Structure 1
Amino acid sequence: MFVWRSFKEAGAIIENSHFVYVSGRHGSVYIDHHAIYTVLKAVSQMCRFMAEDIYDLSLGCEIEVVLGPEGGGIILSRFLKEHLDRFGGKRISLWAKKQYGDNGLRKFVLPRAFIKHISGKKVFLIDDILTSGSTFYELTELANRYGANVVGLGCLWNRGGVTSGDLGGIPLFSLFEKRFEDFDKSECPFCESGIPINNEFGHGRNLR
């Protein structure tokens, strides 16, 4: 699988350790999505594969805007826009900024200059790793706030087993799907064995 191989070669798959995920659950494998952006040629190729999948389902001609979250989503939205444009038409790639309140809760906002480009448009959302679907849910709400219609969702790696049905029935394009076993803290075999929590990756960084 091209996606697995690319993540592996980029050093993005960290195995055989004890991680705490954002969900609070524990596991032995962590996907460092930042690392995949050290191999931009592979990222572009993955976006090309996604563009082909989108057009195979005759959705590509509907898309007017590609929107990703701040961070890797900026790169992904740009690459996907370029590959979609090769099939015809011109699209705009945009990104949503992350803001954190005093309570630590995240929300997405659009830079003011982007609002006129998304209002009333048909939007495709893209992200790298799909775990729970919360990012897509928040971005969909953001787009809807400006009268946009989200017509599709895409991710490089669906590691949460998320389905289109979980996301309101919006078509979902996952280039690769693989889940890793995780555990509640009370049932974690790594905790029971006294294996220390990795504090370089995942939520373990907040436990230093």
Structure 2
Amino acid sequence: MSHDALAADAVLALYEEDGALLHGHFLLSSGLHSDTYLQSARVLQYPAHGARLASAMVAGIPEAIRSQLRVVVGPAMGAVLVSYECARSLGQRSLFTERENGQMRLRRGFALEPGEGVLVVEDITTTGGSTRECMDAVRAAGGRVLAVSAIIDRSPGGIADFDGIPYFPLLRLPVQTWRPEECPLCVAGTPAVKPGSRALR
């Protein structure tokens, strides 16, 4: 298998190997509940694993789009390392968006040229909410989102695209989620934990 080629079972094997595929009762950043959580930080702590995943993500984007990409942008915190490694694989710049007064935006002096081709990346997508916020921030800064990618799309139905912008997740792994009022784990009295980066605030 080449460095760029990474089969779906190999992606999952990396998460399992690094203890990043968790089972329990989790409150996701989307507000949904789930019995499965993918803790990408445990995989990305190993640079070789992060580089391997990012290289495969970039390789999965058609050359016609890839040749136009000049910047990779991901929302902090979860996608900062993903953005960096994808940009390194592309030989381009890496930026990240952050929340300021509740709104996602580019900070720290980051800027985009008008119409500059951008790849927006995530580690995991569930509803795609933070991805869309990141895309809006890129557009507000003058960039042009050409594609979206992620390590794993865990949305139950699968995200086809982002309002017409093509989406190239490395792995589609549907995970059961529930609204809080419908969660059987809550009914059973199992406490929910929130392991994601937003819980750090």
Q: Structure 1 residue aligned with 2:137, among 126, 138, 142?
A: 142
Q: List gaps (5 residues or longer) in structure 2.
A: 1-8
Letter in 1 for 2:159: V
Letter in 2 for 1:46: L
User: Taking structure 1 as reference, are residues 42 and 18 closer, same or farther at Cα in structure 2, changes over 3 Å only?
Assistant: same
Letter in 2 for 1:20: L
- Larger Cα Rg: Structure 1 or Structure 2? 1
CA contact (8 A) 1:20 1:197 kept: no
Q: Structure 2 residue aligned with 1:69, among 69, 75, 96?
A: 75
1:79 paired with 2:72, answer: no
- Give the equivalent residue in structure 2 for 1:199: 193
Over residues 115-173 of structure 1, what are the superposed CA-to-partner deviations in whole Å (9 max), with x where a residue is unaligned?
2x443311111110011111121111111112211000010000012121xx1110111
Moved over 6 A (4+): none
Task: Please list, as runs of the form range in 1=range in 2, the aligned pairs for 1:1-208 lying within 5 A after superposition.
Answer: 1-15=9-23, 17-54=24-61, 56-85=62-91, 91-99=92-100, 101=101, 106-111=102-107, 113-115=109-111, 117-160=112-155, 161-164=158-161, 167-194=162-189, 196-199=190-193, 201=195
Q: List gaps (5 residues or longer) in structure 1.
A: 86-90
Q: Secondary structure at the match of 2:193?
A: coil
Deviation at 1:57, TM superposition (A): 4.3
Cα RMSD after superposing both structures = 2.3
Deviation at 1:185, TM superposition (A): 3.7
Letter in 2 for 1:31: L
CA contact (8 A) 1:13 1:32 kept: yes
Q: Secondary structure at the match of 1:132?
A: coil
Between the aligned partners of 2:159 and 2:180, the Cα distance in structure 1 is: 22
Q: Secondary structure at the match of 1:18?
A: strand
After TM superposition, the structure 1 stretch with the greater mean CA deviation from structure 2, 3-12 or 26-35, is: 26-35
- Give the equivalent residue in structure 2 for 1:88: none
Q: Secondary structure at the match of 2:109?
A: helix
Q: What number of residue pairs does the alignment pair up?
A: 189
